[in-house]
C-alpha cells in the first residue's frame, strides 16, 4: 500500500519566499508538523535543523559510533562536504537543494534493495514523471534530480540489527553542471514554487513508512512500483566493469538484471555503476 504523500493545509507550508538566484532570504522548517506526523511511527523521534554541516550522513554516523542511535531526522540548510555513492561529492547550496539524513534502528531480514525502496517512496511523493535509476538515483528525462546514500553502523552490545542512516539530496533549483557525469535536473522544473520545508514535510512520514514496510516485507513489497519507474528497463547499458547489454529490470531482491550476449548477468553490488548508452 502506498503512503499518503499529500501535504497538509496551506497553513502548514512554512518555507518562505520563492526560490531563485541565491535561494530565499530565510528558510522556515515545519519541524513540529514533521514531528507530529512521524513520532507515532518512531517513538523517541526528533527533528534537528542545522544551518550548515559537512555532511548529514557523516554527522549521524559519527553520533552512531559514539553510541547515539536514537531515531532522528537531521536537516542541513547547506553542506560543505556532501557525499554521494562511490565517494562522489554532492553540491549543496542554501535554498537551492534539500539535504537530509534519517537515522533509525533497523533490522530487516535482507538489506538488499533498501535504496530502491527509498527511491520509490520519494518518487511517488514528488511527481509521477520521475523515474528511478538503479541503484540510488531519481531521474527526470535522463538527468539526475536526486540521490540516495545509505550507510549503517552496528548497534550497541545486546542490540539487534543495525543503525541505518538514509541520506537524501534533492536539487530544488538549477545547480552548476560543470564536472558532473550526468546532467542535473531540479524539482523547480516540475513544481516552480517548491520550497525546502514543504518538500521535506511531503516526503518525511511516507519515507519512514516505506522503510518500516521494507524492514517487514523486504524489497518484494516495492518491486512492481520500482519496475513501473525503471529508467534502465529495455535500454542499452554499459557497466563500469565493461559489460554491455540491455536492462531487464530487477530480481526480487533488488539486484539489476542485464541481458548480455552470454545470458542474464545479475548485478547485486552498488560498487558497480551503470549507464544507458543512448
Active-site residue list = 85, 144, 275
Residue 40 CA to residue 17 CA, distance in Å, equals: 31
Q: How far is CA 154 from CA 106, 151, 163, 257, in A?
A: 10, 10, 6, 30
- Within its chain, how far is the Cα of 124 from the centroid? 12
Residue 99 CA to residue 91 CA, distance in Å, equals: 10
In the three-class reduction of DSSP (H, G, I as helix; E, B as strand; rest coil), residue 123 is classed as: helix
Residue 135 CA to residue 152 CA, distance in Å, equals: 17
Q: How far is CA 37 from CA 1, 7, 74, 267, in A?
A: 18, 11, 16, 37
Cis before 186 (ω within 30): no
Task: Give the residue from 256, 259, 257 showing the smallest Cα distance to 245.
Answer: 259
Residues in the chain: 278
Task: Give the residue from 89, 88, 90 showing the smallest Cα distance to 99.
Answer: 90
Residue 119 CA to residue 137 CA, distance in Å, equals: 7
In the three-class reduction of DSSP (H, G, I as helix; E, B as strand; rest coil), residue 182 is classed as: coil
Task: Give the residue from 250, 234, 228, 241 showing the smallest Cα distance to 274.
Answer: 241
Amino acid at each position: 500500500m502506498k503512503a499518503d504523500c499529500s501535504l497538509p493545509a496551506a497553513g502548514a507550508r512554512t518555507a518562505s519566499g520563492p526560490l531563485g538566484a541565491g535561494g530565499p532570504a530565510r528558510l522556515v522548517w515545519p519541524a513540529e508538523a514533521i514531528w507530529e506526523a512521524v513520532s507515532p511511527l518512531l517513538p523517541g523521534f526528533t527533528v534537528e535543523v542545522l544551518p550548515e554541516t559537512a555532511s548529514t550522513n557523516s554527522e549521524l554516523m559519527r553520533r552512531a559510533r559514539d553510541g547515539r542511535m536514537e531515531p532522528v531526522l537531521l536537516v542541513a540548510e547547506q553542506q560543505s562536504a556532501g557525499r554521494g555513492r562511490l565517494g562522489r561529492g554532492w553540491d549543496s547550496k542554501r535554498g537551492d537543494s534539500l539535504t537530509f539524513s534519517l537515522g533509525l534502528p533497523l533490522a530487516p531480514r535482507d538489506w538488499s534493495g533498501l535504496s530502491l525502496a527509498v527511491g520509490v517512496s520519494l518518487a511517488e511523493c514528488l511527481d509521477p514523471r520521475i523515474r528511478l535509476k538503479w541503484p540510488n538515483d531519481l531521474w527526470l528525462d535522463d538527468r539526475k534530480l536526486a540521490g540516495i546514500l545509505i550507510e549503517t553502523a552496528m548497534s550497541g552490545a545486546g542490540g539487534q540489527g543495525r543503525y541505518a542512516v538514509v541520506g537524501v539530496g534533492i536539487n530544488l533549483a538549477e545547480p552548476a553542471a560543470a564536472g558532473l557525469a550526468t546532467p542535473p535536473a531540479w524539482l523547480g522544473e516540475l513544481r516552480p514554487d517548491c520550497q525546502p520545508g514543504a518538500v521535506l514535510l511531503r516526503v518525511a512520514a511516507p519515507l519512514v513508512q516505506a522503510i518500516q514496510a521494507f524492514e517487514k516485507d523486504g524489497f518484494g513489497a516495492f518491486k512492481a512500483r520500482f519496475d513501473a519507474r525503471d529508467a534502465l528497463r529495455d535500454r542499452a547499458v554499459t557497466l563500469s566493469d565493461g559489460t554491455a547489454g540491455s536492462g531487464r529490470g530487477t530480481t526480487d531482491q533488488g539486484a539489476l538484471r542485464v541481458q548480455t550476449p552470454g545470458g542474464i548477468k545479475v548485478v547485486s553490488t552498488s560498487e558497480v555503476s551503470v549507464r544507458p548508452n543512448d
